[in-house]
């Protein structure tokens, strides 16, 4: 009779591991989020609606969501280009350029905001040149887009790079030998492989942009109804000891951002299923 050897696992059994997982998630995620719901509930439905539908709150929602979407669109394109260049080409300074991609991760967000404000102000190195053609960046919604683009780029690049590194270049050469042009090769051969990672990077960049505060607060100018982002409005409510109002705005913003992220993930799931059925 053959002896059955028990499968060894580095991690503890399912029950213990699941228990620690639920405990950790409750402690770090669920309990803090539940306080937002409880504080918002203290306002009642009427008070909650008055807070989130105020002109100032709606303006901050539009600005935060709009700037995040624009920044993600920019990073979606240029992140792919940067990742492609870093993986497919060899040139002097490539390792340095690859390291610079992670700079927004390592740089404190407040420092990033001060640096961007200095560069893009009307007397800064870049801002002074743009001012000559009538473009003002600092203390405008455009400055917010610049800051969100800066902090979101690494998410797209770092999720695409591993996929490009393992892709077989021979498949592209085979497509070219069969008469496929560059665009057709990219659309039919490369894009289906890159799309899941690409969407994941865009989603992560979008999620980071929605909640970004430190790198935006300096370059935005923080003018109510014009350049006031939602995280800043929440901080203002907290400084005024309006905890219920801050929680209401945070809850509304959380619901909107979570709905958008859920939609993106569902679209990615549909794309994965459709690709698997081909």
d(CA 271, CA 70): 23
Contact 175, 97 (CB under 8 A): no
Count of CB atoms situated within 10 Å of the CB of 129: 10
The end-to-end CA distance of the chain, in Å, is 46
SS3 call for 4: coil
SS3 call for 43: coil
Please report which confidence band the pLDDT of residue 11 belongs to, taking 50, 70 and 90 as the band edges.
Answer: low
pLDDT tens digit sequence for 121-163: 888 899 889 988 989 999 999 999 999 999 999 999 999 999 8
SS3 call for 203: helix
- 53 pLDDT exceeds 70? yes
Count of CB atoms situated within 10 Å of the CB of 131: 17
Please report which confidence band the pLDDT of residue 10 belongs to, taking 50, 70 and 90 as the band edges.
Answer: low
Range picked from 19-33, 139-153, 256-270 for highest mean pLDDT: 139-153
For 138-242, where are the alpha helices, taking DSSP H only? 141-166, 169-177, 182-185, 191-211, 214-220, 230-239
Torsion of CA 8, 15, 28, 63, to 10 degrees: 90
Residue spans per domain, the chain: 58-228
- Model pTM score: 0.84
B/e letters for 208-217, b = 16+ CB within 10 Å, e = fewer, are bbbbbbbbbb
Count of CB atoms situated within 10 Å of the CB of 226: 13
How many residues are present in the chain?
A: 278
Instruction: Name, in order, each residue with C-beta under 8 angstroms of 243's C-beta and a sequence gap of 6 or more.
Output: 39, 237
- Angstrom CA distances, 109 to 10, 136, 199, 219, stand at 37, 22, 24, 12
Count of CB atoms situated within 10 Å of the CB of 57: 22
Q: Which of 68, 99, 100, 41 is nearest to 212 (CA)?
A: 68
Structure-token pair, residue 180: 């496929």
For the chain, where are the alpha helices, taking DSSP H only? 14-25, 31-41, 44-52, 55-88, 94-101, 103-106, 109-120, 125-131, 141-166, 169-177, 182-185, 191-211, 214-220, 230-239, 243-277
Which fold, 58-228?
A: MetI-like fold (1.10.3720)
Average pLDDT, the chain: 86
Residue 167 DSSP class: S
Our measurement of the distance from residue 266's CA atom to the centroid of its chain's CA atoms, rounded to an integer in Å, reads 17
- Angstrom CA distances, 80 to 1, 58, 75, 98, 243, stand at 58, 33, 8, 13, 41
Where is pLDDT greater, at 71 or 24? Answer: 71
- Please report where in the chains the tokens 């807070």 appear, as a residue: 51
- 277 pLDDT exceeds 80? no
């Amino acid at each position: 009779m053959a002896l059955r050897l028990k499968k060894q696992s580095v991690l503890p059994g399912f029950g213990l591991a699941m228990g620690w997982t639920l405990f950790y998630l409750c402690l770090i995620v669920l309990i803090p989020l539940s306080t937002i719901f409880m504080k918002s509930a203290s306002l009642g439905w009427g008070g909650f609606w008055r807070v989130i539908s105020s002109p100032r709150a709606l303006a901050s929602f539009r600005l935060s969501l709009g700037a995040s979407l624009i920044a993600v669109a920019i990073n979606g394109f240029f992140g792919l280009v940067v990742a492609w260049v870093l993986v497919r080409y060899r040139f002097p300074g490539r390792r340095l350029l690859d390291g610079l991609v992670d700079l927004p991760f390592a740089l404190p967000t407040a420092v990033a905001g001060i640096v961007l404000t200095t560069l893009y102000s009307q007397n800064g190195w870049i801002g002074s040149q743009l001012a000559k053609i009538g473009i003002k960046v600092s203390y405008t919604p455009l400055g917010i887009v610049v800051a969100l683009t800066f902090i979101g780029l690494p998410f797209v690049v770092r999720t695409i790079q591993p996929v490009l590194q393992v892709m077989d270049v021979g498949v592209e050469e085979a497509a070219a030998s069969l008469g496929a042009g560059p665009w057709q090769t990219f659309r039919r051969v490369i894009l289906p492989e890159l799309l899941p990672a690409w969407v994941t990077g865009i989603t992560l960049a979008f999620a980071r942009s929605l909640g970004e505060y430190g790198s935006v607060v300096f370059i935005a100018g923080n003018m109510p109804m014009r350049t006031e982002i939602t995280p800043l409005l929440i901080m203002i409510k907290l400084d005024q000891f309006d905890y219920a109002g801050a929680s209401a705005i945070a809850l509304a913003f959380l619901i909107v951002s979570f709905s958008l992220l859920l939609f993106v993930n569902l679209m990615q799931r549909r794309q994965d299923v459709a690709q698997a059925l081909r």
